[in-house]
Amino acid sequence: MNKIKVLIADDQKLLAEGIKGVLESSEEIEVIGIAEDGEKALSLAERALPDVVLMDIRMPNMNGVIATKQMKSALPDCKVLILTTFDDSDYILDAINNGASGYLLKDIGSEALIEAVKNAYAGDTILPAKIAKKIVSAAKMVTNDKEIKLKRTFSLSDRETEIALMICDGFTNRQIASALKLTEGTARNYISAIYLKLGCDSRSAAVQKMKELF
pLDDT score of 131: 63
HEC letters along the chain: CCCEEEEEECCCHHHHHHHHHHHCCCCCEEEEEEECCHHHHHHHHHHHCCCEEEEECCCCCCCHHHHHHHHHHHCCCCEEEEEECCCCHHHHHHHHHCCCCEEEECCCCHHHHHHHHHHHHCCCCECCHHHHHHHHHHHHHHCHHHHHHHHHHHCCCHHHHHHHHHHHCCCCHHHHHHHHCCCHHHHHHHHHHHHHHHCCCCHHHHHHHHHHHC
Single pTM value for the model: 0.64
Tens of pLDDT, residues 68-105 = 999 999 999 999 999 877 656 667 777 888 889 988 88
pLDDT at 107: 86
pLDDT at residue 133, as a whole number = 65
Distance CA 103, CA 100 (A): 8
* pLDDT mean over 20-38: 96
Domains of the chain, CATH where assigned: 4-126 (3.40.50.2300), 133-213 (1.10.10.10)
Residue 135 has pLDDT above 80, yes or no: no
Check residue 163 and give its pLDDT: 96
pLDDT at 147: 86
